[in-house]
């Protein structure tokens, strides 16, 4: 009986988190449908790479940088201090709307961010992991788009 309760509790805790993570090709398809392929000159591969290094394809990820500092929301870990309603709200969106797996609000906000002077460089993880990568094409390998 005790084992059943423990296993049930573990199942309850594990399943919701695992269900939120999207597959690489699902992410690519949604980003493409949202108009990010070659948006502002950045290939779809760049966007998929960014999504991986920001959230590991988890559209409901919330990360607190350090207590009292910024928090990142969603697939691209969009910062609350500037972009959503817990800060300057430059995207005119609630931070919780950035956690929707349909990615519509996330994509709209990402477009506003990348139109800024830093482009995709607004995300340090893109600069470090994707910007000068010679293997970007791997992010779309096997995806039917």
9-18: burial string, b at 16+ Cβ within 10 Å, e else: eeeeeeeeee
Cα(94)–Cα(87) distance, integer angstroms: 10
Give phi and psi for 127, each to the nearest 5. -60, -40
What's the chain's Rg over C-alpha atoms? 16
Known catalytic membership, residue 54: yes
* Under 8 Å between Cβ of 49 and 9: no
Indicate left, alpha or beta for 73 from its phi (over 0: left) and psi (-120 to 50: alpha): beta
What gap in Å lies between CA 56 and CA 83, rounded to an integer?
A: 21
Given the residues 33, 40, 54, 64, select the one marked as catalytic: 54
**Which residues are the active-site residues?**
54
């Amino acid at each position: 009986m005790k084992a059943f309760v423990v296993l049930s509790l573990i199942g309850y805790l594990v399943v919701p988190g695992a269900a939120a993570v999207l597959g690489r090709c699902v992410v690519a398809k949604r980003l493409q449908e949202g108009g990010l392929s070659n948006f502002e000159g950045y290939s779809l591969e760049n966007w998929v790479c960014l999504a991986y290094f920001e959230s590991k394809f988890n559209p409901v990820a919330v990360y607190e940088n350090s207590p009292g500092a910024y928090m990142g929301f969603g697939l691209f870990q969009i910062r609350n201090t500037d972009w959503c309603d817990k800060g300057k709200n430059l995207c005119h969106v609630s931070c919780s709307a950035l956690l929707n797996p349909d990615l519509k609000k996330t994509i709209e906000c990402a477009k506003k961010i990348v139109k800024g002077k830093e482009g995709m460089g607004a995300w340090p993880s893109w600069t470090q992991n994707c910007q000068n990568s010679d293997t970007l094409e791997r992010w779309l390998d096997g995806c039917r788009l």
